Amino acid sequence: MVVVALVVAIATYLTWLALRLDRLAARVAAARGGLVTQLVARAQAAGVLAERAALSDLADSVARVRAIHPVLLAGGPLDRGVELAENALSRSLRSGEVAAAGQRFPAELHSVDSEAARVALARQFHNDAVRDLRALAGRRLVRVLHLAGRRPTPGYFEIDDALPARGDLPGLAS
């Protein structure tokens, strides 16, 4: 009787752990999707600014990330190569050239800045989800019993997405 109860309790606990892992994997997948969508949106806005203001450096960075976005949209990994390309775009967006162009194209620059701010948020949501998943998947019981299945452990996505200082966003008076 006691043995049966114990087995049921253990089985219930393991099922619950597996359910949590599934749920976290779904959250990571959703966050990844949101992040990729946002990277594409930033590139799109940056492309518009580069074209209108005829900024060749920015156009080059945009072309570089655009070349890899189809792979990401098809489920390709957010790896080092992606980080480097997106970092290069972040750097171009902080250049003096872009700030100067913003004088003539304020609407375009504002749109780039809002999309870039959302990239920073999407990246935080993604990395938070990854951290929660890794914490649970890293538990000894989960590893020993292979509860996470064959799913690869997702990695963090680290890029420099700090926004250039162009005046405060509303409500950010901190």
Partner 1 sequence: MRIGIACPYTWDVPGGVQVHVRDLAETLIAAGHEVSVITPVDDERTLPPYAVDAGRALPVRYNGSVARLLMGPVSAARVRRWLREHDFDVLHVHEPSAPSVSLLACMLADGPIVATFHTANPRSRFLTAAQGALQPSFEKLRARIAVSEAARRTLVEHLGADAILIPNGVAVDDFAGATPLPGYADGRPTVVFLGRIDEPRKGLDVLLAAMLQLATTVGDARLLVAGPGDTAGLRARLDPRLRERVDLIGLVSDADKPRVFASGQVYCAPNTGQESFGIVLLEAMAAGTPVVASDLDAFRRVLDDGRAGRLFEVGDPGRLAEVLAEVLGDPGGTGPGSTAERVRHAHTVARSYDWPTIAERIVGVYRMVSGDGRVSVASN
Q: Which of 38, 90, 92, 111 touches partner 1 by CB under 8 A?
A: 38
Does residue 166 touch partner 1 according to CB under 8 A?
Answer: no
List 131, 153, 160, 162, residue binding partner 1 (CB under 8 A)? 131
Q: Which residues have CB under 8 Å from 68's CB, separation 6+?
A: 76, 81, 82, 85
Using the rule CB under 8 A, give the single segment among 79-87, 95-103, 131-139, 156-164 that binds partner 1: 131-139
* Binding residue for partner 1, selected from 129, 130, 147, 159, defined by CB under 8 A: 129
Residues 28/151, Cβ–Cβ less than 8 Å: no
Binding-site string for partner 1 from residue 89 to residue 108, where x marks contact by CB under 8 A and - marks none: --------------------
Q: Which residues contact 96 (CB under 8 A, 6 or more apart)?
A: none
Scanning the chain, the segments in alpha helix (DSSP H) are 2-52, 56-73, 80-93, 96-104, 106-137, 140-144
What is d(CA 25, CA 168) in angstroms, rounded to the nearest whole number? 36
* Amino acid found at 136: L
Binding site for partner 1 (CB under 8 A): 16, 19-20, 23-24, 27, 30-31, 33-34, 37-38, 118, 121-122, 124-125, 128-129, 131-132, 136, 168, 170-174
